[in-house]
A and B are shown apart, each in its own frame.
Chain A
Amino acid sequence: MAELHLPPTLTPLFRELPRRIDVEAATVDEAIERLNERWPGVRDRLCGQGPVLRPHINVYVDRERAGLDTALEERSRVDVIAAISGG
């Protein structure tokens, strides 16, 4: 199980979506898909057309910058960060 940490801008958009959740997934893309199955629409909030990660959404796997195709290990920590932007 990978351990996902989600940004505080995302969780209020979906009923009972927690900030931290464990998912069974082989890649970042699969992890997002697992969330999307349970909370439809999560993928749209994190990914744009392509799909690609949205420009101001950054993902780190075990503290390394990652993309949708980055592989996850059994105990990977995945941090989804809404970039420090806006005002």
Chain B
Amino acid sequence: MPQTVLLVGTRKGCFVLESDADRRDWKMRGPYCEGWPIYHAVHDPASGALYAAAASEWHGAGVWRSPDLGETWELSSEGLSYDDDNGLKLSKVAGLTAVNGRLLAGAEAAGIFESRDGSETWTLLSTLDGLPGRESWNDPDKQPPGHLGLPAILPHPDEPSRFWAVVQGYGIFETTDDFASWSPRNRGLRADWPLENPEVGYCVHKLVMSPDRDRLYQQNHCGMHRSDDAGQSWTEITEGLPSDFGFAAVAHPHDRDTFYVIPLDPGHGRCMPEGRAAVWRTRDAGSTWQRLDSGLPQHDAHLGVLREGLAIDSLDAPGLYFGTSTGQVFASADEGESWSEIASYLPAIASVEVAVIE
């Protein structure tokens, strides 16, 4: 029977929750990674290794690797830095992607690094030089609280040289030549602020791909959007949701029309509206939305979920999982119809990923 493994990245280390394919009973292990803040923990299905992107206030940024599902971990950052002459400082590794024997890391300041030896050593692949907005997103005077980075790299499953990258506050960029050149892919997106260049300046929070490859969905700072042409153009699909703001999103692994989001209040709170927890689902590519809240707290539940905080597994009836800024993990084994709380007292959660291991 397959094993279902949740990787939970928190403010105080990485935790592992395990269950079988029924996904009813969960056992938790951790904290791992010496309690370092973990921004994104992933499973590499090819090697079986776990990787966790981390940044310690004292000891800098690095990537933890576990070859044995979390029993032992080692940290490396060799090569994970910018040359002094390009003026960039690497403050954190924000997102990881394991694909085709490569481990890709999105960094802050915005850049992409690659490891081909299981995170022991790293090489800088791109800082997206020459793109519109490139100088602004690295301008120290134009940084919001925190810094702008490159939190996500989405690979095309069938084209090994094709990727989409998200630069915070600027948008999506596509490469089809393995990071050598890039094109903005933001046409049709909405920005509630003036733009100097209409090609960039869009705040993409989460980008995911439907199983048929051509359809992409994104949760943006300004609404939900769908692309039916692999990001060449975007259509807003916010209508029917309680808010146009949120961070997390997942696409159903078997149905191109089904997609999940967690709308949040857009102000400072950035919690689920009215203290009532819910995940929202569309089954018609965004024409209509359903609120899914059975088993989720409906009173005084001021829960936030970050960009990597929602995951979906690949089983026939996919399970969904989300982790909150207040340390709860909720799980559904029936495509979001009903939920249960499977961890209650973790540190603030930045990421949840799921792996089904045969």
Binding site for B on A (CB under 8 A): 7, 9-10, 12-13, 40-41, 44-46, 48-50, 54, 56-57, 82-83, 85-86
Contacts and interface: CB of A to CB of B under 8 A. Distances in A.
A13 B75 contact: yes
A83 B58 contact: yes
29 contacts: A7-B58, A9-B56, A9-B59, A10-B59, A12-B34, A13-B34, A13-B75, A41-B77, A44-B59, A44-B60, A44-B78, A45-B59, A46-B59, A48-B81, A48-B89, A49-B82, A49-B84, A49-B89, A49-B90, A50-B84, A54-B58, A54-B60, A56-B57, A56-B58, A57-B58, A82-B58, A85-B58, A86-B57, A86-B58
Contact of A40 (B56, B60, B78): B78
A49 B89 CA distance: 7
A20 B186 CA distance: 55
A54 B59 contact: yes
Interface in B51-108: 56-60, 62, 75-78, 81-82, 84, 89-90
A48 B77 contact: no
B59 A13 contact: yes
Nearest to B84: A49
A40 B76 CA distance: 9
A47 B78 CA distance: 13
Contacts of A82: 58-59
A80 to B, nearest CB: 10
A46 B60 CA distance: 8
Nearest to A13: B75
Contact of B76 (A41, A46, A54, A85): A41
A48 B82 CA distance: 10
A49 B60 CA distance: 10
Given A41-B76, A41-B77, A48 B34 contact: no
Contacts of A44: 59-60, 62, 77-78, 81
Contacts of B84: 49-50
Nearest to A42: B59
